[in-house]
């Protein structure tokens, strides 16, 4: 089972995303004053990408209403403010996610504007939205989705709110594939040992705060649970001391992800507690990653992805121990559900 990280294949798979970063931020600037609301609608990993986008919009925008939905909930709620002043953003890595496509089609008779991100033009999501950014065929659509959606949001913030970091964001997003590859390769030795130490565990807790919770959720739910069938509980730091911490004892394996955003102090508190009551702790701190090519003022925005690809190497090695490739599925795409 091959687990070696291929830098060239990885960065090549994100070339088209790099090429359309400028288009995305420019489109964001064009849209910036046309809308009063942004609704993010997606399933799985794209929904959690949108968690980070929502975080930064809520932090920097004085004028926008921002909401995030799972598509099934979105259609059930049918928000009454889906008018011409509403932008709805949808994303699907495969372009075939049933609920996301249904939501896009649900919006066809609404006066709002729909913008999508997926891989190629013939995919159902691309066909269902009014404007779509295309990543090209890639195995790294998760990172490509982030790059394009963050560029779009950066353009909106720059034009609407006078956010001063758009140029730094754009340059950093273009440098991101190489920085991601560095993080994966440089963490491989550590990840190899952590996979050995935790290979027999069936229950794990993944903790993070703010936009870093994107990584806790995506790694826990969309990688480890989905492919290794382990019981992973992603927990937000803000909620940890209101119930979940009572389940922690000396036997509990914990992955603690610390970002550089304003929520960092929440996770530092969690780290102190966990290191006091169990030795089975993996701490990943974004500040330990050099992030070459990423502007210092943009580090907090991209940190969830830098840390995320580093910890994904743990899953790559767990897959070898478990003799269960990361492509393994029991139900997804195989049964009716």
Q: In the prediction, which pLDDT does 48 show?
A: 97
**Across the chain, what does the average pLDDT equal?**
96
Q: In the prediction, which pLDDT does 242 show?
A: 97
pLDDT in tens, 203-229: 999 999 999 999 999 999 999 999 999
Strand runs labelled E in the chain: 37-41, 65-69, 86-91, 113-118, 131-134, 203-208, 231-236, 254-258, 281-285
Cα–Cα distance for residue pair 25/43, rounded to 1 Å: 23
Strand, helix or coil for residue 75: helix
pLDDT in tens, 17-32: 999 999 999 999 999 9
> Which residue matches tokens 């659509």?
141
Domains 7-164 and 181-321 share a fold: yes
Q: Answer whether 225's CB lies under 8 Å from 254's CB.
A: no
What is the rounded average pLDDT of the residues 295-314?
98
User: Domain 7-164 - what CATH class?
Assistant: alpha beta
Closest C-alpha to 312, from 183, 200, 139: 183
Indicate the pLDDT class of residue 332, thresholds 50, 70 and 90.
confident
Strand, helix or coil for residue 256: strand
Q: In the prediction, which pLDDT does 131 show?
A: 98
What is the rounded average pLDDT of the residues 264-272?
98
Residue 176 has pLDDT above 70, yes or no: yes
Q: What percent of the chain has pLDDT over 70?
A: 99
CATH code of domain 181-321: 3.40.50.10490
Q: In the prediction, which pLDDT does 115 show?
A: 98
- Distance in Å from the first CA to the final CA of the chain: 30
Q: In the prediction, which pLDDT does 121 show?
A: 97
Residue 1 has pLDDT above 60, yes or no: no
Residue 294 has pLDDT above 70, yes or no: yes
Q: In the prediction, which pLDDT does 189 show?
A: 96
Q: In the prediction, which pLDDT does 323 show?
A: 95
Residue 231 has pLDDT above 80, yes or no: yes
Residue 61 has pLDDT above 60, yes or no: yes
> Which residue matches tokens 């992603």?
234
Q: In the prediction, which pLDDT does 320 show?
A: 95
Residue 2 has pLDDT above 90, yes or no: no
Cα–Cα distance for residue pair 95/63, rounded to 1 Å: 31
- Give the domain ranges of the chain: 7-164, 181-321
pLDDT in tens, 135-165: 999 999 999 999 999 999 999 999 999 999 9
């Amino acid at each position: 089972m091959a687990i070696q990280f291929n830098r060239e294949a990885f960065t090549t798979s994100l070339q088209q995303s790099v090429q359309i970063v400028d288009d995305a931020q420019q489109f964001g600037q064009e849209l910036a004053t046309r809308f009063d609301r942004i609704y993010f609608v997606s399933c799985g990993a794209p929904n959690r990408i949108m968690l980070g986008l929502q975080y930064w919009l809520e932090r920097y925008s004085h004028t926008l209403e921002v909401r995030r939905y799972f598509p099934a909930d979105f259609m059930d709620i049918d928000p009454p403010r889906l008018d011409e002043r509403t932008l709805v953003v949808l994303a699907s890595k495969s372009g075939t996610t049933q609920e996301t496509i249904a939501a896009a089609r649900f919006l066809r008779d609404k006066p709002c504007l729909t913008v999508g991100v997926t891989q190629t033009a013939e995919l159902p999501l691309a066909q269902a939205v009014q404007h779509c950014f295309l990543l090209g065929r890639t195995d790294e659509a998760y990172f490509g989705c982030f790059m394009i959606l963050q560029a779009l949001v950066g353009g909106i913030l720059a034009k609407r709110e006078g956010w001063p970091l758009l140029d730094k964001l754009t340059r950093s997003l273009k440098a991101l594939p190489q920085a991601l590859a560095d993080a994966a390769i440089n963490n491989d030795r550590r990840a190899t040992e952590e996979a050995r130490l935790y290979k027999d565990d069936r229950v794990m807790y993944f903790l993070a705060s703010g936009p870093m919770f994107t990584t806790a959720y995506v790694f826990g739910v969309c990688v480890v649970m989905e492919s290794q069938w382990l019981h992973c509980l992603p927990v937000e730091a803000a909620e940890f001391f209101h119930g979940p911490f009572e389940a922690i004892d000396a036997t509990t394996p914990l992955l603690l992800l610390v970002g550089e955003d304003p929520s960092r102090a929440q996770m530092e508190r969690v780290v102190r507690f966990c290191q006091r009551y169990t030795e089975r702790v993996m701490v990943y701190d974004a500040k330990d990653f050099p992030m070459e090519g990423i502007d210092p003022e943009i580090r907090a925005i991209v940190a969830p992805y830098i840390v995320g690809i580093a910890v994904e190497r743990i899953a790559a090695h767990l897959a070898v121990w478990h003799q269960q490739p990361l492509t393994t599925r029991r139900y997804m795409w195989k049964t009716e559900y």
